[in-house]
Amino acid sequence: MSILEVKNIKYKYDKYNESSKYALNDVSFSIDESEFTALIGESGSGKSTLISHLNGLYRADSGDILFKGKSIYDKDFNLTNLRFKCGIVFQYPEYQLFSETVLEDVAFGAIKKGLSKDEAYKKSLEVLKMLGIDHLKDETPFNLSGGEKRKVAFAGVFVMDPDILIFDEPDAGLDPVSKDQFYKLLKMLNQKYKTTIIYITHNLDDVIEYANKVIVLKEGTVLKEGKPYEVLTDKEIMSKANLDMPYAVEIYYELLKLGRKIDISKLKFDELKETLIGLK
Amino acid sequence: MQNILVKNLIVDFDVLNNDGNVISKKRAIDDVSLTINEGEFVCVVGRNGSGKSTLAKCLNALILPSSGDVIINGLNTKDENNTIDIRRQIGMAFQNPDNQIVASIVEEDIAFGMENLGISSEIMDERIDESLDSLGIKELRYSLTSKLSGGQKQKVSIAGILAMKSKILILDEPTSMIDKNGRNDLLDRVKKLNKEENITIILISHYIDEISYADRVIVLNNGKVTMDDTPKNIVLRQKELSESGIILPYIPRLATVLRDNGKNLKGNEFTAEELCQFLK
């Protein structure tokens, strides 16, 4: 069942200028519950504008967005509630930390959501444990490393029990080891708690590894959506979107050049490795 | 003809408590010594908090040594009288170009640095064209800086440094905001500047794939230089790399696994084409 449906939305920043371009121009797609979706496209293609629509931060000029079948633009629709259900973690979330201790910072949203202080702290501590950073609970967030800060910011969103987690380039500025840990964590949340995940990224090799759906944007329109291997191996779409193919796809085509056709749906690192080991 | 000489560099930061009092010291750079010669293309890698950015800031006297020396073309950064000369010779492009762009029109932004050097307007005019051309963005000369994409902004900030005729260019994670396509394009341009104009490049990165552009890779871990080698050699030292918290780039990682499974590969292949050689 689809948890989120985006129907023909249009949005322009400069509304009073007729000749200005639409940042989103007739965008439609739907996201199923517990899907892990990557949103890709070159800089300026509308990715960040799009996610700001998904919890009603921006209001589309036309079109509709349905959350669990109900239009978020309905008069009776509870937008505040939506923002607890649909948490967005923006780029460089560490800049939005503000409390004196990590635990206080994480609990802030939960208290706003209506939990008592005790409950909120208890829950926050659980989330910190799950992320493996409960030893930091009494530290000031500002002395932490970049990766730790990001986990704290993320904990603050996750403590609100969102149905959908949305990230704007969660891995920007993280080193490969922290990045790997972060995606494994997302995958775990996605599988164990059925949390729907939508994230913006430039790193297409990780899309093959972790996502089960990709949406490609170009100048505010959806060029293609589908399974990672279907989209990322589509030469025409990728060149239209101005995106370089991930390494796994480069290898796929290099093998094809040598007359070796391998299973296109098996391009994850371990799958590709097995296939290549089997080639004589 | 030595460009950069770092001798037993130590940098300590104060750790403050919530009242702003110094409670301890944190060692960010721990006894680093190295020489970078004119015309080298060096890539500095390391996990978050390894001291990469601190080292870079020591080179252009934004941070002064707690002990040891940093000498740029014979000028010691410790001597305040040298600071302006050193910053003329070393241009630095920061991670986020928004922190660096000051003017509303591209050409004005590029002129800003030159104005501070007292360069005549005719020469300025020429150099603006030249520097934009060398980065392939001549058409952006009269564009609004606020309308540029992340990758374009990054190029504009580099063009501003080139226009000042800096002989050393430090790029602090210049590609963290742009997609792979834009990354490759930017780094191709930087490589060209390095080869054709003999500009020394120091690229700080944690996209480990980017090491293939460099002649030399320096690995930092906990403020110490743990490895200093060519890209082709360094990827063969996998155990040491992982001790420094570095994961091999995609293709060398795959090549290594295949080599260990008896395929005819060295493990330091960097392109899909090189990787697929084992089938021939």
pLDDT tens, residue by residue, A219-248: 999 999 999 999 999 999 999 998 889 999
Structural domain including A209 reads 2-96+162-177+193-245
Does A102 contact B at CB distance below 8 Å?
no
Burial label, B201 (beta-carbon count in 10 A; 0-12, 13-18, 19+): buried
In this complex, is the C-beta atom of B102 within 8 Å of any C-beta atom belonging to chain A?
A: no
ipTM of the complex: 0.84
Nearest CA in chain B to A176: B247
CATH number, span B2-206+214-225: 3.40.50.300
> Does residue A184 belong to any structural domain of this protein?
no
Q: How many CB pairs under 8 A join A and B?
A: 100
Type and span of the H or E element at A187: helix A176-192
pLDDT tens-place string over residues A6-33: 999 999 988 888 888 899 999 999 999 9
Q: Is A203 on the interface with B (CB under 8 A)?
A: yes
Distance from CA of B40 to the nearest CA of A (A): 24
Tokens of A213: 């759906």
> Would you say residue A204 lies in a domain?
yes
Give B38-88 pLDDT, tens digit per residue: 999 999 998 877 899 899 999 989 999 999 999 999 999 999 999 988 988
What span, in angstroms and rounded, lies between the C-alpha atoms of A158 and A161? 6
CA torsion angle A79 A85 A86 A87 (round to 10): 110
> Is residue A105 domain-resident?
no
Find the closest chain A residue to B176 by CA distance: A172
- Give burial (CB, 10 Å; 0-12/13-18/19+) of B165: middle
Instruction: Inform me whether the C-beta atom of residue B275 falls under 8 Å from chain A C-beta atoms.
Output: yes
Q: pLDDT tens for residues A162-206? A: 999 999 888 876 777 778 888 888 898 899 889 999 999 988 999
Enumerate the domain spans of chain B: 2-206+214-225
Q: In what order do the strands lie in the sheet with B41-45?
A: B90-93, B168-172, B200-204, B41-45, B216-221, B224-229
Q: CB–CB of B257 and A273 under 8 A?
A: yes
Candidates A255, A167, A202; CA nearest to B184 is: A202
CATH number at residue A18: 3.40.50.300
Q: How many domains does chain A have?
A: 1
Would you say residue A125 lies in a domain?
Answer: no
- What's the pLDDT tens digit per position in A103-155? 999 999 889 888 999 999 999 999 999 888 899 999 888 878 777 888 888 89
Closest residue of chain A to B245, computed from CA coordinates: A177
